[in-house]
Amino acid sequence: MGKHALLIEDEPNITEAIRFILARDGWQVSIHGDGADAVDVVARIAPDIVILDVMLPGRSGYEILDELRAGAATRDLPVLMLTARGQERDRRRAEDAGASRFMTKPFSNSEVLAAMREMVGP
């Protein structure tokens, strides 16, 4: 099987769309919908990349990213941040926290795949 992506997203429609896009491209996709224990899930699964929503129940994507960047094992893990809010301050916050890429919803299938391939490889 291909590369392994962990999608941390609580919106079912977006989860299913991204899962479909990536699976069709050969990715193994794991899904998690709660921010409270997301860092533990990342540690347990050890994905090649994390797709992380900003607004999650339990804990924000920014807080999760801060913790991932503070950990030795996850410091360099590629993280694609997704948000419905595309204001400049949101983009800056994601960059400051160490997001590898930042994408606003709605996004195109080709944008997601291009970002994933750029961060992890084909």
CATH number, position 19: 3.40.50.2300
Amino acid at 78: P
How buried is residue 121: exposed, middle or buried, by Cβ count under 10 Å (0-12/13-18/19+)? exposed
| Number of separate domains in the chain | 1
Q: Is residue 120 part of a domain?
A: no
Q: Is residue 121 part of a domain?
A: no
From 56, 103, 62, 111, select the one nearest 83 (Cα to Cα).
Answer: 103
- The overall average pLDDT reported for the chain is 92
For the entire predicted model, the pTM comes to 0.93
Amino acid at 27: W
Is the pLDDT at 32 greater than 60? The verdict is yes
Q: Is residue 122 part of a domain?
A: no
From 83, 39, 81, 82, select the one nearest 58 (Cα to Cα).
Answer: 39
Q: Is residue 37 part of a domain?
A: yes
Terminal CA-CA length for the chain: 13
Q: Is residue 64 part of a domain?
A: yes
- State the average pLDDT over residues 66-93: 90
Q: What is the reported pLDDT for 122?
A: 63
Q: Is residue 83 part of a domain?
A: yes
Domain that holds residue 31: 4-115
Is the pLDDT at 97 greater than 60? The verdict is yes
63: alpha, beta or left? (left if phi > 0; alpha if psi -120 to 50): alpha
Is the pLDDT at 1 greater than 60? The verdict is no
Q: Is residue 80 part of a domain?
A: yes
- Counting residues of the chain whose pLDDT is more than 90, the rounded percentage is 79
